[in-house]
Amino acid sequence: MRQFLSILAFCTFAGNASAAPLVVAMAPPANSGLVKVDFKFGSASDDTAFLFRMGMLEGHLMVGHELLQAHQPALALPHFGHPVRELYDDFADYLEDKHFPAFDGQLADLETAVKAAPEAPDTKAKFQAVITTIHQARLLAPANIRDSVPEMIKICSQTVDAASYEFGGALEKGRIAAVVEFHDSRGYLEYVAQEIEALRAAHPDAAAVLDRFRAVLAKAQWIVDPLLPGPLPRASAGTYRAIAAEAADVAKP
């Protein structure tokens, strides 16, 4: 039985003098030699932290939806449960402060629908409704952050960093042992890719830096490209972490 291990890392956001903690708690599941990795983020106390967490939330749902489309409901289900159990509390106070209606119940209803009828039209409608709610909630953050290429590219780089930690948590002795963490990583990158394309469409004058970031992102996406991966990863956790460092370098002023 392995000892429990906690690692504290820090995600630093633009314009924030403090850092939001990323706590990686590694604990062995019952009757298993594998290591379970859970990622906990501190409360979303500012606008950039809120946007970061909303990106992770949407990334979970994006990969969950992708797995449902691939007729893999058992693999998809955790990605509809993690948002309400692992992320929502981090930004609940932010929503309340901004007088935005709570939507944890909506997330829970979606999870229930995925569990009961993963491919039903009603489940698909609930998914789209949740995505709409998330996009509306994102508008709570000031436009001068949401519409800023420097600000958003920093948030995207932090999301790639979080994705690299998820990928590392998926590996055990050089093999993919926790596919849920692999899919977490994939979902975060899918969200980042979506955000970079939106920024590129809105800011053609920033195409050069966004294309540089997109090229780095593509390297990370290649690592988690197989939706149903085999036991051997395409790269090591160290390689992925190095790519995350490249993304952070692109995001620097």
The whole model's pTM is what?
0.84
- Provide the 8-state DSSP code for 10: E
Strand partners, 37: 26
CA distance 88 to 91: 6
Which residue in 136, 133, 132, 114 sits closest to 123, CA to CA? 114
- Select from 174, 168, 229 the least CA-distant residue to 38: 168
Give the start-to-end residue ranges of the domains of the chain.
45-251
Using one digit for the tens of pLDDT, what is the confidence trace for 72-94?
999 999 999 999 988 999 999 99
User: What is each CA distance from 187 to 45, 78, 159, 184, 207, in whole angstroms?
Assistant: 24, 12, 10, 5, 24
Q: Does residue 102 surpass a pLDDT of 60? A: yes
Q: What is the DSSP string of 162-188?
A: HHHHHHHHHEETTEE--HHHHHHHHHH
HSE toward the beta carbon, residue 250, CA cutoff 13 A: 28
| Alpha helices (runs of H) in 70-202, residue ranges in sequence order | 73-76, 78-82, 88-97, 104-116, 121-138, 143-146, 149-170, 179-202
The string of pLDDT tens digits covering residues 111-170 is 999 999 999 999 999 999 999 999 999 999 999 999 999 999 999 999 999 999 999 999
Share of the chain above pLDDT 70, in %: 82
